[in-house]
Amino acid sequence: MPSGDAQRVWFPELIGTLKSSWSESMTWGELADLCSRLTEEREELRRSRGIRPPLIRCPKCGAESRSDISGLSIRSALFALRKAGVFTEADLKHHDLDWKKYQASHHLDPYGKKIPASRGADRSGSAKLRCIEVGCPGVPARSEAHK
């Protein structure tokens, strides 16, 4: 496995698909669907290449476990389009602001999915890194034994 692949989010194949699929007329829903497909493609690439998620260490107890790899967010796709040269910096700022407004007005998570009412004010959509070691102060009460 090449150095850095465990942390890699955008493989060259994914950027190629993103660039060829992108259109200025694309809706936010269509971009969300594309990000979902790219997430599945990334999972398959990681599986076929034997790339495991990076190790993380609990700051409280020191236990090591594999991190959870999140999906490709809409905002991540916008930044990837900028890095790939599809967007200028001004384009990125414009689309990013449009996305943030659309996301807030439609109560969407970073992946373009509707936020359940039960999630309330936590609209970050970001994964909460928690240790799974039993007895660690960072573990929720219903945690299982460290695997």
pLDDT digits (tens, 9 = 90+) for 26-70: 999 999 999 999 999 999 988 898 888 778 888 888 888 877 778
- 108 neighbors 133 (Cβ within 8 angstroms): no
Instruction: Provide the residue ranges of all domains of the chain, joining segments of one domain with +.
Output: 12-53+71-119
- Which amino acid does the sequence have at 123? R
pLDDT of residue 64: 83
Identity at 36, one-letter amino acid code: S
56, β-bridge pairs: 65
Rounded distance between C-alpha atoms, residue 95 and residue 101, angstroms = 10
Predicted model pTM? 0.73
pLDDT at 70: 81
Element of type H or E holding 26 = none
Q: How far is CA 122 from CA 43, 63, 126, 128, 142, in A?
A: 26, 27, 9, 11, 21
* CB-CB contact of 77 with 147 (8 Å): no
The lowest-confidence range among 33-37, 46-50, 79-83, 115-119 is 115-119
- pLDDT over 60 (residue 25): yes
Those residues with Cβ within 8 angstroms of residue 44's Cβ, 6 or more apart along the chain or in another chain: none
